[in-house]
Amino acid sequence: MSAGLTWSHDAGDHIAALAWLPDGRRLAVAPAEGNIVVLDRATGAVRLTLPPHASGNCALSIAPAAPLLVTAGHDGKARLYDTDTGALIRELEAGPGWCEHAQFSPDGKLLATTAGKTLRIWTSAGEQAFESTAHDSTIAALAWRPDSAGVATGCYNGAQLFRMKNGAWEPQSYAELRWKGSIISLTWSPNGRYVAGGSQEATIQFWRLPYRTGEELFMSGYATKIRELAWDATSRYLASGGGEIATVWDVSGKGPAGTKPKQLEGHADRITTLTFQRRGPLLASGGADGRVFVWDLAKAQRHRQEIQPPSAIAALAWSPDDTALAIGAADGCVCVWESAKG
């Protein structure tokens, strides 16, 4: 494959979520309203069509090692599908309110969903394993612990960590990462040692684990609220949005305290999405300006990609082999950028 964009597909509405299937040959696309589709990487042809959630689709997640996919939406439901046949395996009740988050655990054995203040954990077959309704406000962010034995949820006043012990979920959270503010995004570093949350108040809360009160850090100076957070595979770099500049913190050594982050400039409008490769070092950013950048931090290089017609970038996803970047836009356009290393 030579570098560049191949085909383009119109999914009908602002792209809410994009996710690659584990074979790296198929791409699942959920528009904000309308059918969810699975596309062929090489041709863009539609391989599967799945029905929408009434009033809107919120989330999409793919099991890492089984032919399973989950869609979630405004109807408060999470639907488990067989990705080989497209058959609906089970429809799960995530709770009252929109099911805004649905994520398979990294090992694929469990599924976490949030709807309003309700967190539920399910087996990948759709049996409920755990429920917590102990949140003070609607859960705005969800992140799995990298070892699949815990989750973090974020809402007002910080984040809570839940975990399994001896195969069963503990009923209460085992750590409360307190902060007086509204957490709207959360990410857990791949090595399990750090949790970072972005806030409405344009700060990042950074917690080293195990958490000790008073040891949290926060980073400020962002232009606007921060929903875009991404860890690189080595857990060294935390990339953040919250404006036109992608700010990358180096947490190695004693960092990030007292360090100056790298500031990646190039977008002419707010960054909307950030994602590192799964194993490789490259960082992809998309903005409301319709630009996509692929950054090589070590070489201080960047590749700029535009899509035609121009439209704000809504979602980005690296293929499992890190050689392709799926791009979803606000006008419903989906395309795949293949790097030359194919």
Partner 1 sequence: MNTTNDRIPVTVLTGFLGSGKTTLLNHILTAQHGKRIAVIENEYGEVGIDNELVVNADEEIFEMNNGCICCTVRGDLIRILGNLMKRKNKFDYIMIETTGLADPAPVAQTFFVDDEMKESFSLDAIVTLVDAKHVWQHIDESDECKEQIAFADVLLLNKTDLVSPGELDQLEARIRSMNRTCKILRTRNAETDLAHLLNVRAFDLDAKLEFNEHFLAEEVPFEWGGVFALERGDYQLALDAGPDPAIDVLALPIAPRNDEAFEAAKKEAIITFASDGVVLESGATLRPDRKLATLLLGADGATYTLRIEATGDYALFTQHGPEEFNLRILRDGVAAEPVRSQPFAHSHTHDQSITSVGIVDDAPLDPKAFNEWIGMILRTKGTDIFRMKGILNFAGSKDRFVFQGVHMLFDGKPDRAWKPGEKRRSQLIFIGRNLDRAELNAGFKSCLA
315, burial (CB in 10 Å: exposed 0-12, middle 13-18, buried 19+): buried
Return d(Cα 80, Cα 72) in angstroms, integer: 9
Considering the complex, state which of residue 16 and residue 112 has its C-beta at the smaller distance from partner 1.
Answer: 16
With respect to partner 1, which residue has the nearer C-beta, 98 or 318?
98
Sheet containing 57-62: which strands, arranged edge to edge?
57-62, 68-73, 77-82, 88-93
Find the shortest distance in angstroms from Cβ 58 to partner 1.
Answer: 7
* Cβ(72)–Cβ(53) below 8 Å: yes
Minimum distance between the CB of residue 137 and partner 1, rounded to whole angstroms? 5
Q: Closest CB to partner 1 among 30 and 294?
A: 30
Of 7 and 156, nearer to partner 1 (C-beta) is 156
Question: In which residue are the tokens 């293929």 written?
Answer: 319
| Smallest separation (angstroms) from partner 1 to the CB of 317 | 17
Neighbours of 32 (CB within 10 A): 21
Please state whether the peptide bond connecting residue 64 to the residue before it is cis, i.e. omega within 30 degrees of 0: no
Indicate the residue among 34 and 64 with the shorter CB distance to partner 1. 34
User: What's the min distance (Å) between Cβ of 14 and partner 1?
Assistant: 4
Using the minimum distance from each CB to partner 1, give the nearer residue, 233 or 330.
330
Binding site residues, partner 1, CB under 8 A: 12-14, 16, 32-33, 55-56, 58, 74, 97-98, 100, 116, 137-138, 140, 156, 180-182, 184, 200-202, 224-225, 270, 314, 330-332
CB of 33 to partner 1, least distance (A): 7
Neighbouring CB atoms inside 10 A of 93's CB total 15
Q: Are strands 118-123 and 141-144 parallel, antiparallel or unpaired?
A: unpaired
Is the C-alpha dihedral spanning 196, 65, 280, 41 positive or negative?
negative
> Nearest approach, Cβ of 29 to partner 1 (angstroms)?
14
